[in-house]
Structure 1
Amino acid sequence: MVVGNGGSMVDDVAWSPPRRRNGIWWIVASGLLLPAGWIAWLLVALAGYNGAGNSTHTLSGQTGGSIVVTVVCAGVPLTGLVLLLVQRRRDRSVTLVGPIGCAVFVVLAAVTLGYPTTRVAQSWAAEEEQRAQPPTATETSRTPAQAERDLAAVGERAVRAMGGDPETGDVVQFPRGCSLSNLERGTEYTWRWSFPADADADDEPQTEADRKADLLPQDQAEARLAPVREVFLDAGLRDADPLGWDIRVVGDDWLAEGNAGVTRTSGDVMIETTCLAGGPGDEYEDDE
Protein backbone atom coordinates (compact mmCIF):
# COMPACT_ATOMS: atom_id res chain seq x y z
CA MET A 1 0.00 0.00 0.00
CA VAL A 2 1.12 3.53 -0.71
CA VAL A 3 -0.32 6.79 0.41
CA GLY A 4 -1.28 9.04 -2.48
CA ASN A 5 -1.75 12.75 -2.60
CA GLY A 6 -4.53 13.84 -0.35
CA GLY A 7 -4.08 10.84 1.88
CA SER A 8 -6.07 8.33 -0.30
CA MET A 9 -4.80 4.83 -0.87
CA VAL A 10 -4.75 3.27 -4.38
CA ASP A 11 -3.65 -0.08 -5.70
CA ASP A 12 -0.30 -0.01 -7.40
CA VAL A 13 -1.44 -1.64 -10.68
CA ALA A 14 0.69 -1.27 -13.82
CA TRP A 15 -1.15 0.42 -16.71
CA SER A 16 -1.39 -1.38 -20.09
CA PRO A 17 -2.85 -0.11 -23.38
CA PRO A 18 -6.21 -1.55 -24.52
CA ARG A 19 -6.01 -4.65 -26.71
CA ARG A 20 -6.31 -3.83 -30.42
CA ARG A 21 -8.34 -6.06 -32.76
CA ASN A 22 -7.55 -5.96 -36.46
CA GLY A 23 -9.78 -8.73 -37.90
CA ILE A 24 -6.81 -10.76 -39.11
CA TRP A 25 -8.86 -13.95 -39.41
CA TRP A 26 -11.24 -12.32 -41.88
CA ILE A 27 -8.24 -11.33 -43.99
CA VAL A 28 -6.74 -14.82 -43.82
CA ALA A 29 -10.05 -16.47 -44.72
CA SER A 30 -10.59 -14.12 -47.65
CA GLY A 31 -7.03 -14.61 -48.87
CA LEU A 32 -7.37 -18.39 -48.85
CA LEU A 33 -10.84 -18.36 -50.37
CA LEU A 34 -10.06 -16.23 -53.43
CA PRO A 35 -7.48 -18.57 -55.07
CA ALA A 36 -9.78 -21.49 -54.34
CA GLY A 37 -12.54 -19.53 -56.05
CA TRP A 38 -10.42 -19.04 -59.16
CA ILE A 39 -9.86 -22.78 -59.40
CA ALA A 40 -13.55 -23.51 -58.78
CA TRP A 41 -14.56 -20.98 -61.45
CA LEU A 42 -12.32 -22.68 -64.01
CA LEU A 43 -13.66 -26.11 -63.07
CA VAL A 44 -17.21 -24.85 -63.55
CA ALA A 45 -16.26 -23.40 -66.95
CA LEU A 46 -14.76 -26.72 -68.06
CA ALA A 47 -17.47 -28.93 -66.59
CA GLY A 48 -19.27 -31.06 -69.17
CA TYR A 49 -16.61 -30.98 -71.86
CA ASN A 50 -16.14 -34.70 -72.48
CA GLY A 51 -14.73 -34.61 -75.99
CA ALA A 52 -15.96 -33.73 -79.45
CA GLY A 53 -19.61 -34.57 -79.94
CA ASN A 54 -19.98 -35.76 -76.34
CA SER A 55 -20.24 -32.52 -74.38
CA THR A 56 -22.88 -31.79 -71.75
CA HIS A 57 -21.61 -28.28 -71.06
CA THR A 58 -24.27 -25.56 -71.04
CA LEU A 59 -24.02 -21.81 -70.59
CA SER A 60 -26.92 -21.90 -68.15
CA GLY A 61 -25.06 -24.34 -65.91
CA GLN A 62 -21.83 -22.38 -66.20
CA THR A 63 -23.61 -19.13 -65.39
CA GLY A 64 -25.26 -20.57 -62.28
CA GLY A 65 -22.05 -22.15 -61.01
CA SER A 66 -20.01 -19.03 -61.72
CA ILE A 67 -22.49 -16.85 -59.83
CA VAL A 68 -22.31 -19.13 -56.78
CA VAL A 69 -18.50 -19.06 -56.77
CA THR A 70 -18.41 -15.29 -57.21
CA VAL A 71 -20.99 -14.62 -54.49
CA VAL A 72 -19.10 -16.80 -52.00
CA CYS A 73 -15.67 -15.34 -52.80
CA ALA A 74 -16.92 -11.75 -52.68
CA GLY A 75 -19.49 -12.33 -49.93
CA VAL A 76 -17.08 -13.59 -47.27
CA PRO A 77 -14.78 -10.52 -47.29
CA LEU A 78 -17.81 -8.24 -47.72
CA THR A 79 -19.36 -9.78 -44.61
CA GLY A 80 -16.10 -9.26 -42.75
CA LEU A 81 -15.94 -5.66 -43.92
CA VAL A 82 -19.45 -4.88 -42.69
CA LEU A 83 -19.08 -6.68 -39.35
CA LEU A 84 -15.71 -5.10 -38.57
CA LEU A 85 -16.99 -1.60 -39.38
CA VAL A 86 -20.02 -2.15 -37.12
CA GLN A 87 -17.75 -3.39 -34.34
CA ARG A 88 -15.47 -0.39 -34.80
CA ARG A 89 -18.37 2.00 -34.29
CA ARG A 90 -19.02 0.35 -30.92
CA ASP A 91 -15.44 -0.32 -29.95
CA ARG A 92 -12.59 1.89 -31.13
CA SER A 93 -10.11 -0.86 -30.31
CA VAL A 94 -11.08 -2.47 -33.63
CA THR A 95 -8.58 -1.13 -36.14
CA LEU A 96 -9.08 -0.33 -39.82
CA VAL A 97 -6.64 -3.03 -40.90
CA GLY A 98 -9.35 -5.67 -41.13
CA PRO A 99 -11.93 -3.57 -43.03
CA ILE A 100 -9.31 -2.34 -45.49
CA GLY A 101 -7.98 -5.85 -46.09
CA CYS A 102 -11.50 -7.20 -46.61
CA ALA A 103 -12.31 -4.35 -48.98
CA VAL A 104 -9.26 -5.23 -51.08
CA PHE A 105 -10.43 -8.83 -51.42
CA VAL A 106 -13.96 -7.70 -52.30
CA VAL A 107 -12.54 -5.64 -55.16
CA LEU A 108 -10.27 -8.49 -56.30
CA ALA A 109 -13.17 -10.94 -56.32
CA ALA A 110 -15.39 -8.51 -58.20
CA VAL A 111 -12.74 -7.89 -60.86
CA THR A 112 -11.31 -11.39 -61.31
CA LEU A 113 -14.56 -13.34 -60.87
CA GLY A 114 -17.43 -10.88 -61.22
CA TYR A 115 -16.42 -9.51 -64.62
CA PRO A 116 -15.97 -12.89 -66.37
CA THR A 117 -19.15 -14.16 -64.73
CA THR A 118 -21.01 -11.17 -66.17
CA ARG A 119 -19.67 -11.98 -69.64
CA VAL A 120 -20.79 -15.60 -69.31
CA ALA A 121 -24.25 -14.45 -68.21
CA GLN A 122 -24.45 -12.13 -71.22
CA SER A 123 -23.53 -15.01 -73.54
CA TRP A 124 -26.19 -17.17 -71.93
CA ALA A 125 -28.81 -14.44 -72.38
CA ALA A 126 -27.83 -14.06 -76.04
CA GLU A 127 -28.06 -17.82 -76.52
CA GLU A 128 -31.52 -17.94 -74.95
CA GLU A 129 -32.66 -15.11 -77.20
CA GLN A 130 -31.30 -17.03 -80.20
CA ARG A 131 -33.13 -20.18 -79.13
CA ALA A 132 -36.39 -18.24 -78.91
CA GLN A 133 -36.26 -17.40 -82.62
CA PRO A 134 -38.17 -19.56 -85.14
CA PRO A 135 -36.28 -21.39 -87.91
CA THR A 136 -35.59 -19.31 -91.00
CA ALA A 137 -37.57 -19.59 -94.22
CA THR A 138 -34.65 -21.41 -95.84
CA GLU A 139 -34.44 -23.93 -93.00
CA THR A 140 -38.13 -24.77 -93.37
CA SER A 141 -38.25 -24.57 -97.17
CA ARG A 142 -38.25 -28.35 -97.60
CA THR A 143 -39.44 -31.38 -95.71
CA PRO A 144 -36.97 -34.25 -95.35
CA ALA A 145 -38.58 -36.13 -98.24
CA GLN A 146 -38.49 -33.05 -100.46
CA ALA A 147 -34.87 -32.33 -99.56
CA GLU A 148 -33.75 -35.87 -100.42
CA ARG A 149 -35.72 -35.88 -103.67
CA ASP A 150 -34.59 -32.44 -104.86
CA LEU A 151 -31.00 -33.09 -103.84
CA ALA A 152 -30.91 -36.32 -105.82
CA ALA A 153 -32.43 -34.54 -108.83
CA VAL A 154 -29.68 -31.91 -108.86
CA GLY A 155 -27.01 -34.55 -108.37
CA GLU A 156 -28.30 -36.73 -111.19
CA ARG A 157 -28.44 -33.75 -113.56
CA ALA A 158 -24.83 -32.95 -112.71
CA VAL A 159 -23.77 -36.56 -113.36
CA ARG A 160 -25.49 -36.63 -116.74
CA ALA A 161 -23.96 -33.25 -117.59
CA MET A 162 -20.55 -34.81 -116.94
CA GLY A 163 -21.41 -37.61 -119.36
CA GLY A 164 -21.98 -40.21 -116.66
CA ASP A 165 -24.93 -42.39 -115.75
CA PRO A 166 -26.31 -42.33 -112.19
CA GLU A 167 -27.37 -45.97 -112.62
CA THR A 168 -23.86 -47.25 -113.35
CA GLY A 169 -22.01 -45.53 -110.54
CA ASP A 170 -22.11 -45.84 -106.78
CA VAL A 171 -24.77 -43.52 -105.29
CA VAL A 172 -24.73 -42.78 -101.57
CA GLN A 173 -27.29 -40.55 -99.86
CA PHE A 174 -27.27 -39.94 -96.12
CA PRO A 175 -28.43 -37.41 -93.47
CA ARG A 176 -26.27 -35.83 -90.80
CA GLY A 177 -27.28 -33.98 -87.63
CA CYS A 178 -26.60 -30.24 -87.41
CA SER A 179 -27.67 -27.08 -85.57
CA LEU A 180 -30.20 -24.66 -86.98
CA SER A 181 -29.86 -20.89 -86.61
CA ASN A 182 -31.87 -21.10 -83.37
CA LEU A 183 -29.60 -23.92 -82.11
CA GLU A 184 -32.34 -26.54 -82.43
CA ARG A 185 -31.42 -29.84 -84.03
CA GLY A 186 -31.73 -30.08 -87.79
CA THR A 187 -30.47 -32.28 -90.61
CA GLU A 188 -28.03 -31.87 -93.48
CA TYR A 189 -28.43 -34.18 -96.48
CA THR A 190 -25.60 -35.38 -98.70
CA TRP A 191 -25.84 -37.04 -102.12
CA ARG A 192 -22.73 -38.50 -103.75
CA TRP A 193 -22.08 -40.38 -106.99
CA SER A 194 -18.75 -41.96 -107.86
CA PHE A 195 -17.55 -44.01 -110.81
CA PRO A 196 -16.36 -46.70 -111.03
CA ALA A 197 -18.63 -48.01 -108.28
CA ASP A 198 -15.94 -50.24 -106.76
CA ALA A 199 -13.19 -47.60 -106.79
CA ASP A 200 -13.00 -47.45 -103.00
CA ALA A 201 -12.82 -51.23 -102.75
CA ASP A 202 -9.60 -51.53 -104.76
CA ASP A 203 -7.04 -53.17 -102.51
CA GLU A 204 -4.09 -51.87 -104.52
CA PRO A 205 -3.75 -48.10 -104.24
CA GLN A 206 -2.64 -46.21 -107.30
CA THR A 207 0.95 -45.15 -107.54
CA GLU A 208 1.83 -41.53 -108.14
CA ALA A 209 2.66 -42.38 -111.75
CA ASP A 210 -0.74 -44.04 -112.20
CA ARG A 211 -2.53 -41.02 -110.77
CA LYS A 212 -0.69 -38.64 -113.06
CA ALA A 213 -1.40 -40.83 -116.08
CA ASP A 214 -5.11 -40.86 -115.16
CA LEU A 215 -5.38 -37.07 -115.11
CA LEU A 216 -7.06 -35.37 -118.02
CA PRO A 217 -5.42 -32.43 -119.76
CA GLN A 218 -6.79 -29.22 -118.31
CA ASP A 219 -8.72 -28.23 -121.43
CA GLN A 220 -10.43 -31.64 -121.61
CA ALA A 221 -11.27 -31.61 -117.90
CA GLU A 222 -12.74 -28.11 -118.18
CA ALA A 223 -14.75 -29.13 -121.25
CA ARG A 224 -16.30 -32.10 -119.40
CA LEU A 225 -16.96 -30.12 -116.25
CA ALA A 226 -18.34 -26.94 -117.83
CA PRO A 227 -21.87 -28.44 -118.15
CA VAL A 228 -21.65 -29.59 -114.52
CA ARG A 229 -20.82 -26.07 -113.43
CA GLU A 230 -23.87 -24.81 -115.32
CA VAL A 231 -26.08 -27.29 -113.48
CA PHE A 232 -24.70 -26.11 -110.16
CA LEU A 233 -25.08 -22.43 -111.06
CA ASP A 234 -28.66 -23.00 -112.23
CA ALA A 235 -29.37 -24.58 -108.83
CA GLY A 236 -28.36 -21.34 -107.09
CA LEU A 237 -24.75 -22.15 -106.25
CA ARG A 238 -21.68 -20.05 -107.04
CA ASP A 239 -18.02 -20.79 -107.71
CA ALA A 240 -15.66 -21.06 -104.75
CA ASP A 241 -12.11 -22.13 -103.94
CA PRO A 242 -11.77 -25.72 -105.29
CA LEU A 243 -9.99 -27.04 -102.16
CA GLY A 244 -8.73 -30.07 -104.09
CA TRP A 245 -11.78 -30.56 -106.30
CA ASP A 246 -11.97 -29.70 -109.99
CA ILE A 247 -15.17 -27.77 -109.25
CA ARG A 248 -16.42 -26.50 -105.92
CA VAL A 249 -19.49 -24.32 -105.51
CA VAL A 250 -21.28 -22.94 -102.46
CA GLY A 251 -24.69 -21.44 -101.86
CA ASP A 252 -26.76 -19.38 -99.44
CA ASP A 253 -30.10 -21.08 -100.02
CA TRP A 254 -31.17 -24.66 -99.31
CA LEU A 255 -28.12 -26.02 -101.16
CA ALA A 256 -24.89 -25.42 -99.24
CA GLU A 257 -22.13 -26.92 -101.39
CA GLY A 258 -21.41 -28.93 -104.51
CA ASN A 259 -18.23 -30.62 -105.73
CA ALA A 260 -17.21 -32.44 -108.88
CA GLY A 261 -14.07 -34.09 -110.19
CA VAL A 262 -13.20 -36.13 -113.26
CA THR A 263 -10.28 -38.15 -114.59
CA ARG A 264 -9.81 -40.47 -117.59
CA THR A 265 -11.32 -43.41 -115.72
CA SER A 266 -13.36 -41.94 -112.87
CA GLY A 267 -15.86 -39.29 -111.94
CA ASP A 268 -17.17 -37.90 -108.69
CA VAL A 269 -20.09 -35.62 -107.84
CA MET A 270 -21.13 -34.62 -104.33
CA ILE A 271 -23.76 -32.12 -103.25
CA GLU A 272 -24.99 -31.11 -99.79
CA THR A 273 -27.89 -29.15 -98.35
CA THR A 274 -27.74 -26.53 -95.66
CA CYS A 275 -29.07 -27.42 -92.21
CA LEU A 276 -32.82 -27.98 -92.62
CA ALA A 277 -35.49 -28.23 -89.95
CA GLY A 278 -36.71 -31.67 -89.06
CA GLY A 279 -35.17 -34.88 -90.23
CA PRO A 280 -34.05 -37.99 -88.35
CA GLY A 281 -32.89 -36.08 -85.30
CA ASP A 282 -36.16 -34.24 -84.73
CA GLU A 283 -38.84 -36.88 -85.36
CA TYR A 284 -40.11 -34.62 -88.10
CA GLU A 285 -43.56 -35.54 -89.41
CA ASP A 286 -43.67 -35.38 -93.18
CA ASP A 287 -46.90 -33.89 -94.50
CA GLU A 288 -46.53 -35.46 -97.89
Structure 2
Amino acid sequence: MFDDDGHAPPDGGRSSGPWIAGSIVALLTGWFLAFVTVLSTAMPYDQWPDDGRLVLLVIAFVIGAGVPFVGILVLRRDRPGEPEDGSPGLVACVLAFGLGALTLGPLLLVQGAAIAGAAVERAQPPTDVESSRTVSQAQDELRVLGDRVVASMGRDSTAPPAEVETDSCGLDNHSPGTMVRYWWRLSDAGTPVPSASSTPAIDDAGEPALRLLRAEGYHLEQRFSTGGGRLYDEDSWVGAATIDGGGTSVLLESQCLVDPDASSAD
Protein backbone atom coordinates (compact mmCIF):
# COMPACT_ATOMS: atom_id res chain seq x y z
CA MET A 1 0.00 0.00 0.00
CA PHE A 2 1.34 3.45 -0.93
CA ASP A 3 0.40 6.98 0.06
CA ASP A 4 -0.70 9.72 -2.33
CA ASP A 5 2.92 10.47 -3.26
CA GLY A 6 3.58 6.86 -4.24
CA HIS A 7 5.76 6.04 -1.22
CA ALA A 8 5.34 3.18 1.22
CA PRO A 9 4.20 4.07 4.74
CA PRO A 10 6.99 4.34 7.35
CA ASP A 11 6.32 0.82 8.68
CA GLY A 12 6.44 -0.87 5.33
CA GLY A 13 2.67 -1.25 5.02
CA ARG A 14 2.25 -2.66 8.55
CA SER A 15 0.86 -0.37 11.25
CA SER A 16 2.95 -0.22 14.43
CA GLY A 17 -0.05 0.73 16.59
CA PRO A 18 -1.05 -2.84 17.44
CA TRP A 19 2.52 -3.68 18.43
CA ILE A 20 2.71 -0.65 20.73
CA ALA A 21 -0.55 -1.60 22.44
CA GLY A 22 0.28 -5.30 22.46
CA SER A 23 3.72 -4.76 24.01
CA ILE A 24 2.30 -2.56 26.78
CA VAL A 25 -0.49 -5.02 27.56
CA ALA A 26 1.94 -7.96 27.47
CA LEU A 27 4.37 -6.21 29.84
CA LEU A 28 1.61 -5.36 32.31
CA THR A 29 0.30 -8.92 32.12
CA GLY A 30 3.76 -10.32 32.82
CA TRP A 31 4.17 -8.00 35.80
CA PHE A 32 0.76 -9.04 37.14
CA LEU A 33 1.62 -12.75 36.93
CA ALA A 34 4.98 -12.10 38.61
CA PHE A 35 3.23 -10.14 41.37
CA VAL A 36 0.84 -13.04 41.97
CA THR A 37 3.80 -15.41 42.20
CA VAL A 38 5.66 -13.23 44.70
CA LEU A 39 2.49 -12.66 46.71
CA SER A 40 1.96 -16.42 47.04
CA THR A 41 5.20 -16.72 49.04
CA ALA A 42 3.81 -14.38 51.71
CA MET A 43 0.66 -16.40 52.37
CA PRO A 44 0.51 -17.88 55.90
CA TYR A 45 -0.39 -21.33 54.56
CA ASP A 46 1.78 -21.80 51.49
CA GLN A 47 0.26 -24.59 49.38
CA TRP A 48 1.85 -23.55 46.07
CA PRO A 49 4.79 -25.77 45.05
CA ASP A 50 8.02 -24.16 43.88
CA ASP A 51 7.77 -25.69 40.41
CA GLY A 52 4.30 -24.14 40.05
CA ARG A 53 5.80 -20.72 40.71
CA LEU A 54 8.53 -21.41 38.19
CA VAL A 55 6.00 -22.31 35.49
CA LEU A 56 4.04 -19.12 36.15
CA LEU A 57 7.21 -17.02 36.02
CA VAL A 58 8.18 -18.62 32.71
CA ILE A 59 4.75 -17.71 31.34
CA ALA A 60 5.14 -14.17 32.70
CA PHE A 61 8.56 -13.81 31.05
CA VAL A 62 7.40 -15.22 27.73
CA ILE A 63 4.46 -12.82 27.68
CA GLY A 64 6.13 -9.75 29.19
CA ALA A 65 9.39 -9.92 27.24
CA GLY A 66 8.55 -12.33 24.42
CA VAL A 67 5.72 -10.34 22.81
CA PRO A 68 7.76 -7.10 22.59
CA PHE A 69 10.72 -9.09 21.22
CA VAL A 70 8.55 -10.54 18.45
CA GLY A 71 7.39 -7.01 17.75
CA ILE A 72 11.00 -5.89 17.36
CA LEU A 73 11.71 -8.67 14.89
CA VAL A 74 8.58 -8.02 12.83
CA LEU A 75 9.01 -4.26 12.69
CA ARG A 76 12.72 -4.52 11.87
CA ARG A 77 11.92 -6.97 9.09
CA ASP A 78 9.44 -4.51 7.64
CA ARG A 79 11.99 -1.68 7.87
CA PRO A 80 15.30 -3.13 6.65
CA GLY A 81 18.18 -0.69 6.93
CA GLU A 82 16.15 1.86 8.90
CA PRO A 83 17.54 3.28 12.16
CA GLU A 84 15.95 1.84 15.30
CA ASP A 85 14.70 5.24 16.44
CA GLY A 86 12.84 5.83 13.23
CA SER A 87 9.62 4.07 14.26
CA PRO A 88 7.56 4.78 17.39
CA GLY A 89 6.39 1.16 17.34
CA LEU A 90 9.94 -0.15 17.25
CA VAL A 91 11.00 2.16 20.08
CA ALA A 92 8.02 1.08 22.19
CA CYS A 93 8.79 -2.60 21.63
CA VAL A 94 12.46 -2.12 22.52
CA LEU A 95 11.55 -0.31 25.76
CA ALA A 96 8.94 -2.92 26.70
CA PHE A 97 11.36 -5.75 25.98
CA GLY A 98 14.08 -4.09 28.09
CA LEU A 99 11.75 -3.54 31.03
CA GLY A 100 10.36 -7.05 30.80
CA ALA A 101 13.77 -8.71 30.58
CA LEU A 102 15.27 -6.64 33.41
CA THR A 103 12.35 -7.10 35.83
CA LEU A 104 11.08 -10.59 35.03
CA GLY A 105 14.39 -12.25 34.18
CA PRO A 106 15.94 -11.98 37.67
CA LEU A 107 12.77 -13.35 39.29
CA LEU A 108 12.92 -16.34 36.97
CA LEU A 109 16.58 -16.95 37.82
CA VAL A 110 15.97 -16.66 41.57
CA GLN A 111 13.08 -19.14 41.47
CA GLY A 112 15.12 -21.54 39.36
CA ALA A 113 17.99 -21.34 41.85
CA ALA A 114 15.58 -21.97 44.73
CA ILE A 115 14.26 -25.13 43.04
CA ALA A 116 17.80 -26.34 42.37
CA GLY A 117 18.76 -25.72 46.00
CA ALA A 118 15.69 -27.57 47.26
CA ALA A 119 16.54 -30.50 44.98
CA VAL A 120 20.02 -30.67 46.49
CA GLU A 121 18.59 -30.64 50.02
CA ARG A 122 16.07 -33.38 49.19
CA ALA A 123 18.94 -35.55 47.95
CA GLN A 124 20.60 -35.42 51.38
CA PRO A 125 20.05 -38.35 53.78
CA PRO A 126 18.21 -37.81 57.08
CA THR A 127 20.30 -36.58 60.00
CA ASP A 128 21.47 -38.89 62.77
CA VAL A 129 18.93 -37.36 65.16
CA GLU A 130 16.05 -37.83 62.71
CA SER A 131 16.91 -41.50 62.20
CA SER A 132 17.90 -42.31 65.80
CA ARG A 133 14.46 -43.69 66.71
CA THR A 134 11.55 -45.25 64.90
CA VAL A 135 8.16 -43.69 65.55
CA SER A 136 7.14 -46.73 67.59
CA GLN A 137 10.27 -46.54 69.74
CA ALA A 138 9.77 -42.82 70.26
CA GLN A 139 6.18 -43.35 71.37
CA ASP A 140 7.23 -45.92 73.97
CA GLU A 141 10.20 -43.95 75.30
CA LEU A 142 8.40 -40.62 75.39
CA ARG A 143 5.53 -42.17 77.35
CA VAL A 144 7.96 -43.56 79.92
CA LEU A 145 9.72 -40.20 80.23
CA GLY A 146 6.46 -38.28 80.39
CA ASP A 147 5.06 -40.53 83.11
CA ARG A 148 8.26 -39.98 85.15
CA VAL A 149 7.90 -36.22 84.75
CA VAL A 150 4.29 -36.28 85.90
CA ALA A 151 5.19 -38.51 88.87
CA SER A 152 8.01 -36.15 89.87
CA MET A 153 5.38 -33.49 90.56
CA GLY A 154 3.37 -35.86 92.73
CA ARG A 155 0.76 -36.40 90.05
CA ASP A 156 -0.74 -39.52 88.51
CA SER A 157 -0.39 -39.86 84.72
CA THR A 158 -3.30 -42.30 84.65
CA ALA A 159 -5.80 -39.91 86.28
CA PRO A 160 -6.51 -38.44 83.88
CA PRO A 161 -4.62 -40.65 81.43
CA ALA A 162 -1.80 -39.13 79.42
CA GLU A 163 -2.06 -39.13 75.63
CA VAL A 164 0.66 -40.03 73.13
CA GLU A 165 -0.09 -38.94 69.58
CA THR A 166 1.73 -38.32 66.32
CA ASP A 167 1.69 -35.49 63.82
CA SER A 168 3.16 -34.89 60.38
CA CYS A 169 6.29 -32.74 59.99
CA GLY A 170 9.13 -32.05 57.59
CA LEU A 171 12.67 -33.42 57.85
CA ASP A 172 15.69 -31.22 57.17
CA ASN A 173 15.82 -32.58 53.61
CA HIS A 174 12.14 -31.60 53.12
CA SER A 175 10.96 -35.20 53.10
CA PRO A 176 7.82 -35.95 55.15
CA GLY A 177 8.38 -37.25 58.65
CA THR A 178 6.50 -37.80 61.91
CA MET A 179 6.80 -36.21 65.32
CA VAL A 180 5.59 -37.76 68.59
CA ARG A 181 3.79 -35.78 71.28
CA TYR A 182 3.16 -36.69 74.94
CA TRP A 183 0.37 -34.66 76.54
CA TRP A 184 -0.94 -34.78 80.09
CA ARG A 185 -3.19 -32.23 81.74
CA LEU A 186 -4.76 -32.32 85.17
CA SER A 187 -8.51 -31.89 84.89
CA ASP A 188 -10.12 -28.93 86.64
CA ALA A 189 -11.85 -31.30 89.04
CA GLY A 190 -8.52 -32.77 90.03
CA THR A 191 -6.71 -29.48 90.64
CA PRO A 192 -5.87 -29.23 94.35
CA VAL A 193 -6.89 -26.15 96.32
CA PRO A 194 -3.77 -24.40 97.64
CA SER A 195 -3.48 -23.86 101.37
CA ALA A 196 -1.01 -22.15 103.67
CA SER A 197 0.49 -25.50 104.67
CA SER A 198 0.86 -26.81 101.11
CA THR A 199 4.41 -27.95 100.30
CA PRO A 200 5.57 -27.20 97.72
CA ALA A 201 3.47 -24.16 96.84
CA ILE A 202 1.25 -24.69 93.83
CA ASP A 203 3.29 -22.19 91.75
CA ASP A 204 6.46 -24.22 92.42
CA ALA A 205 4.99 -27.62 91.65
CA GLY A 206 6.70 -27.76 88.25
CA GLU A 207 10.22 -27.34 89.64
CA PRO A 208 10.83 -31.09 90.24
CA ALA A 209 9.89 -31.75 86.62
CA LEU A 210 12.36 -29.12 85.41
CA ARG A 211 15.14 -30.68 87.47
CA LEU A 212 14.36 -34.16 86.14
CA LEU A 213 14.37 -33.00 82.51
CA ARG A 214 17.60 -31.04 82.92
CA ALA A 215 19.18 -34.19 84.34
CA GLU A 216 18.00 -36.00 81.18
CA GLY A 217 19.90 -33.53 78.98
CA TYR A 218 17.29 -30.84 78.34
CA HIS A 219 18.35 -27.20 78.46
CA LEU A 220 16.09 -24.61 80.08
CA GLU A 221 15.20 -22.06 77.41
CA GLN A 222 12.56 -20.07 79.27
CA ARG A 223 11.34 -19.96 82.84
CA PHE A 224 7.74 -18.82 83.20
CA SER A 225 6.86 -16.08 85.66
CA THR A 226 4.26 -18.39 87.24
CA GLY A 227 6.73 -21.25 87.57
CA GLY A 228 7.64 -24.10 85.25
CA GLY A 229 9.21 -23.39 81.88
CA ARG A 230 10.15 -24.53 78.41
CA LEU A 231 13.12 -26.78 77.72
CA TYR A 232 14.80 -28.08 74.57
CA ASP A 233 17.39 -30.68 73.63
CA GLU A 234 18.60 -29.96 70.10
CA ASP A 235 21.14 -32.79 70.14
CA SER A 236 18.62 -35.55 70.83
CA TRP A 237 15.41 -36.82 69.31
CA VAL A 238 13.40 -35.90 72.41
CA GLY A 239 13.06 -32.29 71.27
CA ALA A 240 11.07 -29.85 73.43
CA ALA A 241 9.25 -29.93 76.76
CA THR A 242 6.83 -27.49 78.35
CA ILE A 243 5.99 -27.72 82.06
CA ASP A 244 3.22 -25.72 83.71
CA GLY A 245 4.28 -23.95 86.90
CA GLY A 246 1.29 -25.26 88.81
CA GLY A 247 2.16 -28.83 87.93
CA THR A 248 -1.07 -29.19 85.98
CA SER A 249 0.24 -29.96 82.50
CA VAL A 250 3.17 -31.63 80.75
CA LEU A 251 3.89 -31.44 77.03
CA LEU A 252 6.77 -33.34 75.43
CA GLU A 253 7.35 -33.05 71.67
CA SER A 254 9.94 -35.07 69.80
CA GLN A 255 11.95 -33.83 66.88
CA CYS A 256 10.81 -34.81 63.40
CA LEU A 257 11.64 -38.48 62.85
CA VAL A 258 12.02 -40.63 59.77
CA ASP A 259 8.80 -42.48 59.01
CA PRO A 260 8.46 -44.58 55.83
CA ASP A 261 4.69 -44.33 56.12
CA ALA A 262 4.61 -40.54 56.58
CA SER A 263 2.73 -38.31 54.17
CA SER A 264 3.50 -34.68 53.37
CA ALA A 265 2.42 -32.19 56.02
CA ASP A 266 -0.58 -30.09 55.00
Report if the CA contact (8 A) 1:245-1:259 is conserved.
no
Structure 1 245/68 Cα, relative in aligned 2: closer, same or farther at 3 Å? farther
Which residue is equivalent to 1:4? Answer: none
Residues in 1 aligned to 2:61 and 2:119: alpha-carbon distance in whole angstroms:
22
Which residue is equivalent to 2:207? Answer: 226
Spell out the pairing of 1:124-163 with structure 2 (5 A cutoff). Answer: 124-163=115-154
Kindly indicate whether residue 259 of structure 2 is the aligned counterpart of residue 269 of structure 1: no
Displacement of 1:220 after TM fit?
3.5
Letter in 1 for 2:162: V
Where structure 2 has 5 or more consecutive residues not aligned to the other structure, the ranges are none
Which residue is equivalent to 2:20? Answer: 27
Report if the CA contact (8 A) 1:154-1:231 is conserved.
no
Kindly indicate whether residue 156 of structure 2 is the aligned counterpart of residue 165 of structure 1: yes
Spell out the pairing of 1:59-208 with structure 2 (5 A cutoff). Answer: 59-89=50-80, 95-195=86-186, 198-199=187-188
Spell out the pairing of 1:232-243 with structure 2 (5 A cutoff). Answer: 232-242=213-223
Structure 1 80/158 Cα, relative in aligned 2: closer, same or farther at 3 Å? same
The correspondence for 1:258, drawn from 241, 247, 251, is 241
Residues in 2 aligned to 1:149 and 1:249: alpha-carbon distance in whole angstroms:
20
Residues in 2 aligned to 1:128 and 1:215: alpha-carbon distance in whole angstroms:
62
The correspondence for 1:38, drawn from 16, 31, 35, is 31
For 2:9, what is the secondary structure of its paired residue? coil
Residues in 2 aligned to 1:133 and 1:17: alpha-carbon distance in whole angstroms:
69
Residues in 2 aligned to 1:20 and 1:111: alpha-carbon distance in whole angstroms:
29
**Overall identity of the aligned pairs, in %:** 23
Structure 1 15/111 Cα, relative in aligned 2: closer, same or farther at 3 Å? closer
Residues in 2 aligned to 1:101 and 1:126: alpha-carbon distance in whole angstroms:
37
Which residue is equivalent to 1:278? Answer: 259
Letter in 2 for 1:19: P
Displacement of 1:43 after TM fit?
4.1
Structure 1 269/280 Cα, relative in aligned 2: closer, same or farther at 3 Å? farther
Which residue is equivalent to 2:231? Answer: 249
Show CA shifts across 1:16-47 (max 9, x none). Answer: 76532273332221012111222233445567
Report if the CA contact (8 A) 2:152-2:208 is conserved.
yes
Residues in 2 aligned to 1:250 and 1:112: alpha-carbon distance in whole angstroms:
44
Report if the CA contact (8 A) 1:162-1:227 is conserved.
yes
Show CA shifts across 1:95-147 (max 9, x none). Answer: 34333221100111112322222222222222222211111110010001110
Tell me which moved more, 17-26 or 115-124: 17-26
Residues in 2 aligned to 1:101 and 1:214: alpha-carbon distance in whole angstroms:
84
Displacement of 1:239 after TM fit?
0.6
Displacement of 1:277 after TM fit?
1.0
Q: CA RMSD in A?
A: 3.6
Structure 1 164/104 Cα, relative in aligned 2: closer, same or farther at 3 Å? same
Residues in 2 aligned to 1:216 and 1:274: alpha-carbon distance in whole angstroms:
40
Residues in 2 aligned to 1:30 and 1:163: alpha-carbon distance in whole angstroms:
75
Q: How many residues matched?
A: 256
Where structure 1 has 5 or more consecutive residues not aligned to the other structure, the ranges are 1-13, 283-288
Report if the CA contact (8 A) 1:49-1:56 is conserved.
no
Larger Rg: 1
Report if the CA contact (8 A) 1:74-1:106 is conserved.
yes
Show CA shifts across 1:65-104 (max 9, x none). Answer: 2112202221111122123233332578x93433322110
